[in-house]
Homo-oligomer: A and B are copies of this chain.
Amino acid sequence: MSNIVVQKYGGTSVGSVERIKNVAKRIIKKKESGHQILVVVSAMGKSTDDLVKLAYDISPTPPKREMDRLLSTGEQVSISLLSMALQSMGYDAISFTGPQVGIRTSGRHTKSRIEGIDTTKILEALHEDKIVIVAGFQGVNENDDVTTLGRGGSDTSAVALACVLDATCEIYTDVEGIYGVDPRLYDKAKKLDTVSYEEMLEMASLGAGVMHPRAIELASKYNTKIVVASSEFDVPGTIINKGGNHMEGQSITGLAIDNDELMITIRDIPFDLNITSQFFSQFANKSINIDMISQGAPVKGLINISFTAPVQDLADARKILNCFEEKYPGIGVIINENVSKLSVVGVGMRSQSGVAAKFFQLLTDNNIQILMITTSEIRISCVIKTTDRDIAVTATAKAFDL
């Protein structure tokens, strides 16, 4: 493990001049404790949202290469301001954009993936005792065009940098750590001291919000320790590592709600693997992440398939579905946007039986209709109506002591 600490500050933490100055003070405190510091920052406050709005005011379908260029400016603003703040406090600092520091990406614009990082410039600057500030959320592709990493991209940037630098990654955010349930959904939610990559990965994938699953995946691959903590208060956060929290009797560590998915059902598809695989590859070609899939047994040679997909891909999804309907006029398509995905996660599920039964009974007791179910070894997810969400969260959190 190197002496380098990677700190990541989100948009809220650098949302104003005052906050940027506070972040600078926190960085200096860490630096003074004897560490080499690399800081990854997001765009200020809601500035990315403002840019997205501008783009859609110009065009209903803004081209993605230009969208990436537009969105990548937000982080360029925050890195330069943070560097100015540190330098005005007497500390040597230097900012780099993603392209500049060699964060090479592949894949489509607005959804790129990190291929590799060239650490030369970073190590050089750290060696010169500078505080290095890197723009999160962005990289550069093989055409020398700036790319963005999609949702949670700044976390991914920070963890990727921590991985290649063999550093600890501190994620500073507007919550005090990882909670078993989102405190905005359940105000008695408990903060976790530690959580395993595995559990966090499931929770993040499920829209627990605090961290993007890609970041956790990366950290897990390189065994990089992540600390999630408040950017405002000096209280211990949550450590994400290999071990995690294996308390006896704790069958479920966390609960997650995802409101950003829609449920699509296609009825009466001819039961032919070629057709279904062709269909799903069209979604894959458009980089639409299909998540839960359920398929019933064929009836008279026809099957029904339900699956969930991100709400923001609705337009693209609809196009694919329309083509599909034209090609197979017999099928029926139902898109349900008013759904939420409720998931419970815990490595304890492996050793304890009856967790699923308890969970389903709980929902049934509260008159909550389950529209779809999928499970993994350490997770149970179900799609419910958004109107049932709050009752379901409170009941589950109480029953499993989250």
Residues of A near any B CB (own CB < 8 A): 17, 20-21, 51, 54-55, 57-63, 65-67, 69-70, 72-73, 76-77, 79-81, 83-85, 87-88, 94-95, 97, 100, 144-145
Contacts and interface: CB of A to CB of B under 8 A. Distances in A.
**Total copies of this chain within the assembly:** 2
Given A54-B77, A59-B87, 4 more contacts: A54-B81, A58-B84, A59-B84, A70-B81
A80 B69 contact: yes
Which of A72, A94, A100 has the most CB atoms of chain B within a 10 A radius of its CB?
Answer: A100
Contacts of A66: 80-81, 83-84, 87, 95
Contact of A61 (B67, B85, B88): B88
Main secondary structure of the interface of A (DSSP, over half): helix
Contact of A73 (B61, B76, B87): B76
12 contacts: A21-B58, A59-B85, A61-B88, A66-B81, A67-B80, A69-B95, A69-B97, A70-B76, A70-B80, A72-B76, A73-B76, A100-B144
Contacts of A76: 69-70, 72-73, 76
Given A17-B58, A58-B20, A63 B84 contact: yes
A85 B61 CA distance: 10
Nearest to A97: B69
A43 to B, nearest CB: 10
Contacts of A79: 69
B69 A55 contact: no
Nearest to A83: B66
Contact of A84 (B55, B72, B94): B55
Contacts of A63: 83-84, 87
A58 B72 contact: no
B100 A57 contact: no
A105 to B, nearest CB: 16
Contacts of A145: 100
A117 to B, nearest CB: 16
Nearest to A16: B57
A365 to B, nearest CB: 51
A17 B84 contact: no
A284 B243 CA distance: 62
A3 to B, nearest CB: 25
Nearest to A61: B88
A148 to B, nearest CB: 12
B59 A88 contact: yes
Contacts of A95: 66, 69
Contact of A17 (B57, B69, B85): B57
